[in-house]
Amino acid sequence: MKKVFLIFAVLSLLVFIRPALGLNSNTDSSNSVSAISVDQVDQPQGDSIYEGAFNGLKQFYNYTGFANVETGNLLMILIGIIFIYLGIKYDYEPLLLIPIGTGVILGNIPFVAGNQTGIYEAGSVLNYLYFGVTKGIYPPLIFLGIGAMTDFSSLIANPKLMLLGAAAQIGVFGTFLGALYLGFSLPEAGAIGIIGGADGPTAIFLSSKLAPNLIGPIAIAAYSYMALVPVIQPPLMRLLISKEDRKIRMKPPRAVSQKEKMIFPVVALLLTTFISPSSLPLLGMLFFGNLLKESGRTERLADTARTKLIDIVTILLGVTVGASTQADIFITKESMMIFGLGAISFVIATCGGLLFAKLMNLFLKGDNKINPLIGAAGVSAVPDSARVVHHEGLKSDPGNYLLMHAMAPNVSGVIGSAIAAGIILSFLG
C-alpha cells in the first residue's frame, strides 16, 4: 500500500505543478468528460526548431491524463485500488470487488472527449458493454447461474424458515421510506430501497428500470455491503442474540428426495411469479437454472450456466458498473446519501431477520426451536451470510454446525428480494 500512495503522490504533484509549467493554458478540464479544445499551432517562418518541438510536446501533454485529471478522479482511482486490495488481502467477495475496482480505475482515467473512450460516450466499447447493465440484461443471466448452483434442499426440508427471508426484507421497505424522507423521487426511492436486500443483481435490475441515473451508486453500494457481510453482521448477532440462544442446536433436516427437488423449481416459479409477475425475468431464470441442475438430464447446460456463463457475465457486470463511477457523475451529495441509506438498510435487514427468529422461537417447542443466528442469513448475500452465521455459531459452540440450516433463509432471501423488486416495479414502474 505504501507504493500505491507513493504513486498517487507523484500523480498529484504532476497535476498541481502543471500551471507553473504553462501547460494548462489551452485546456478546459472542468471534468473528465468535458470537451477540450486544443489550439493548432501554426509554425511561423523563422521559428526555431526548439520552439516547434516545445509546442508539439505541449500539444501532446494536453491530450494526456496528467493534463485532464481532477482531484475527484484521483479519489475514485484510490477507491478502486482499495476495492482490489480488500478482495485480494481479506478475500471480501474477490469475484466482485476485483472487477468492480478495476472498472472504477478504468472509468476515472482522464481522457479527451469525442474519441469514443468513456463509458458514457455513444459508440465506445465500454458503452456497448454497459448496455447490458442499463437494459437489465446481465442480472437475469446472473440469476440463471445462481439457480444452477443452488441446492434448495434445506428450504424444502424446513419451509417455515422461508419466513426469515421474508422478515429480512423489512430493510427494503425501511430504506424506501428513508429515501423518500431525504427527498428522492418515488422511483428513485424504490430503486434505492432494494439495497436492503443485499442483492447486487436485483439492485441493478430495479435501478435500470426505475432510476438509470443512479445505477452506479446503487450497484456499488449493494455490492460493497455484500462484501462487508463478515464485518457488519457479527456485531449485530452478538448484540441481539444471547450466548445461550447462540448455542441452540437444531435437529438435522430431513432427507429430501430427488423428485421433490425437481418439482420445487416448477411449483416455486408458478407461485412466485403469479404473486409478483414483474419479477419474472429474475425468478424465471433462477428457477430455470435450478431445474437444469435437478432434472438430471441437462447437466451440460447446468454446468455452463454455473461456471462459464456466470463467470463471463460477472466480469462484464463488475467492470462496467465500476467504470460507470466517473468522478464528475459519481461524487455527488445523492451518492453519499445512497451509501448512508445502504448501510442503514443492511443493518435493518439483518436485525429484522434476527429478531423475527427470536419471535418464532416463542411458538416453537423442544427440539423444534431454531437458532436465532440463522435469521441474519435472511439477507440474500449467498452464500456469504450463511457462512458468517455458521462461523459465529461455532464460536459459541464448536460442535454446532449451522451452515445447512442457514442456507434455507439465505436462498429464501434471494427469492424474497426478487419478489420485493417486482412489487416495487409494478407500483412505480
Asked if 150 and 91 sit in the same domain, the reply is no
User: What is the overall mean pLDDT for the chain?
Assistant: 86
Query: Rounded to two decimals, what is the model's pTM?
Result: 0.84
When divided into structural domains, the chain yields a total of 2
Where on the phi/psi map is residue 296: left (φ > 0), alpha (ψ -120 to 50), or beta? left
pLDDT digits (tens, 9 = 90+) for 358-386: 999 999 988 889 999 999 999 888 888 99
How far is residue 220 CA from its own chain's centroid?
Answer: 5
Asked if 165 and 238 sit in the same domain, the reply is yes
Residue at 89 is within a domain:
yes
Under 8 Å between Cβ of 29 and 68: yes
Q: What is the mean pLDDT of residues 312-339?
A: 91
Residue at 122 is within a domain:
no
Residue at 9 is within a domain:
yes
pLDDT of residue 30: 41
Higher-confidence position of 300 and 35 = 300
Q: What is the mean pLDDT of residues 12-21?
A: 47
Residue at 193 is within a domain:
yes
Residue at 330 is within a domain:
yes
Asked if 106 and 210 sit in the same domain, the reply is no
Residue at 240 is within a domain:
yes
Q: How many CB atoms lie within 10 A of CB 43?
A: 11
Residue at 123 is within a domain:
no
Q: What is the mean pLDDT of residues 108-117?
A: 82
Cell of 24: 494548462
Is pLDDT at 267 greater than 80 in this prediction?
A: yes
Which of these ranges, 2-16, 122-136, 241-255, 359-373, has the smallest mean pLDDT? 2-16
Which range of residues forms the domain containing residue 139?
128-428
Asked if 308 and 422 sit in the same domain, the reply is yes
Domain closes at, from 89, 117, 145 = 117
Rank 9-23, 303-317, 322-336 by mean pLDDT and report only the highest. 303-317
Cell of 371: 437458532
Is pLDDT at 36 greater than 50 in this prediction?
A: no
